[in-house]
Amino acid sequence: MERIRSKYLDSWLVKKNRKPLIIRGARQVGKSTLVRNFAKAHNLNLFEINLEKHIQLNSVFEKNSAALAKEVLADYFGRSIPSEKGNQSILFLDEIQATPAAIACLRYFYEEFPDLPVICAGSLLEFTLSDHKYSMPVGRVEFLHLGPMTFCEFLKAKKEDHILEKINAITDVKQVNEIFHEKCVSLLKEYFFVGGMPEAILTLLEAGIDSVPQIHSQILETYQGDFVKYAKKSHLIKIQKVFRHLYLHPCSKIKFSNISPEDNSKDLKSNLELLFKAKIATPVFNTTCAGVPLESTKSEKIFKSLLLDVGLMNHFQKASWVNIKNMSEAKLLTDGKIAEQFIGQHLLSLQPPYESPDLYYWLREGKAANSEVDYVIERSPYLIAIEVKAGAAGKIRSMHHWVKDTAHDKKKCLRFNLSPGSEELVTYQFENQRLEYPLLTIPLYLVESLERLLDHTRSTKSGIGGKHVL
């Protein structure tokens, strides 16, 4: 199955100053398969070793000699590893977290054998990378962040080439016709159920949709089985509580008293951070939206959680295929946070592959009423508020408050739902202030076309910037 991130590998391979590449991501998102398919597509001689099965090699890598490590690996493969310029080979160190010294040794591969492409990956790699006992070869390695397969990758796997080509060509929501819209919504519901885990999609293609829940169960059991690898034995029950809470209450503000009133908040927080490191979930931090970058205006203490995958989420919540297939637009946009989870994981996938992805949202809490905008992203100099909502534009009250109350003066407003999309001028009357701003509504299945749709609105007279009218 093809992955969009393989294009980054294409450019990495031909870089003049190529560095060893570390692929980061949760278990079973397809890191190893990505490398194997990449090597096959480029006719590269793949030297692959699973270091989890050869932990004794850690002592070899500790010597900080790429030449020695290469010689020992050649003994393992039973053949020499070509490293001269123009060679058609690639070295793949899988499960590299099992031999942490290999990570530090990457700098010596870069310095001693710059013409040998080296890729690394591993389950729970984040724990090793954050362990200060091991020296990270700063400036001598590159990173590639990989998540679940996206909706467009799902369409490619299903050979829905016509639909995919049209999605990739749309520059204006006015180009969406009724037949195309209905087809996309049908496929989107299937993605909601199956999700983006490669094995789940492969099972759908080979064995049918009824076989997918078994794969979801196996993946979730694998994640929970990993708890013993990175959580203290005394904390296993607590981390299980946190895991269960996240998957039953996705895209919701974290309150430790809601997770477990009887447990210490500090312990629950540390266990939550372990799950974030394992990439089972991602924090979405609250931001004041006072300016760019959003990182400078975030609150470390106020955040909600985004799960790894919408299919795993729905399986954990026991949502059946029949239920999802027959859900109305309104229920899909409100029940179980399905649509918000879908948009969130795709907003992560749209970020540069070499950067650790992050997400933000806006929350205003008050005695009278709370206001929350699902996501806020930045496209400098603009801040863009994103709501995942059904219904008329006049009902997105939180968006109105965001436009009125946030200090940054360059703002845009987007809404995702299951309508074919629209551009409209929203007006809203506060007690002593009239608000007016353009709103772009995009169907959920076009989330990966976000940049292109934004480019189109920038080229039109209306745009989608926000403004106040007193």
Ordered by start, the domain boundaries in the chain are: 6-145
Q: Is the peptide bond before 293 cis (omega within 30 degrees of 0)?
A: yes
Q: From CA 300, how far away is CA 273, in angstroms rounded?
A: 12
For domain 6-145, give the fold: Rossmann fold (3.40.50)
Q: How far is the C-alpha of 318 from the C-alpha of 53, rounded, in Å?
A: 36
Q: Residue 186's closest CA among 438, 444, 464, 457?
A: 444
- How many whole angstroms separate alpha carbon 437 and alpha carbon 426? 5
pLDDT for res 463: 40
Q: In this structure, are residues 215 and 200 in contact, taking their beta carbons and an 8 Å threshold? A: yes
Contact (Cβ atoms closer than 8 angstroms) between residue 117 and residue 106: no
- Residue-level pLDDT at 368: 64
Residue 144's beta-bridge partner residues? 23
Tokens 């054998």, residue?
Answer: 113
Rounded CA separation 184/168 (Å): 13
Give the closest residue to 270 by CA, choosing from 244, 307, 242, 229. Answer: 242
Find out whether 385 and 411 touch, Cβ atoms under 8 Å. Answer: yes
Q: Which residues pair with 162 in a beta bridge?
A: none
Tens digits of pLDDT across the chain (470 residues): 999 999 999 999 999 999 999 999 999 999 999 999 999 999 999 999 999 999 999 999 999 999 999 999 999 999 999 999 888 999 999 999 999 999 999 999 999 999 999 999 988 988 888 875 666 788 899 999 999 999 999 999 999 999 999 999 999 999 999 999 999 999 999 999 999 999 999 999 999 999 999 999 999 999 999 999 998 888 899 999 999 999 999 999 999 999 999 999 999 999 999 999 999 999 999 999 998 999 999 999 999 999 999 999 999 999 999 999 999 888 888 777 999 999 999 999 999 999 999 999 999 987 667 899 999 999 988 999 999 987 666 578 999 999 999 989 899 999 999 999 999 999 998 888 899 999 999 999 999 999 999 987 755 444 444 444 33
pLDDT confidence of residue 469: 37
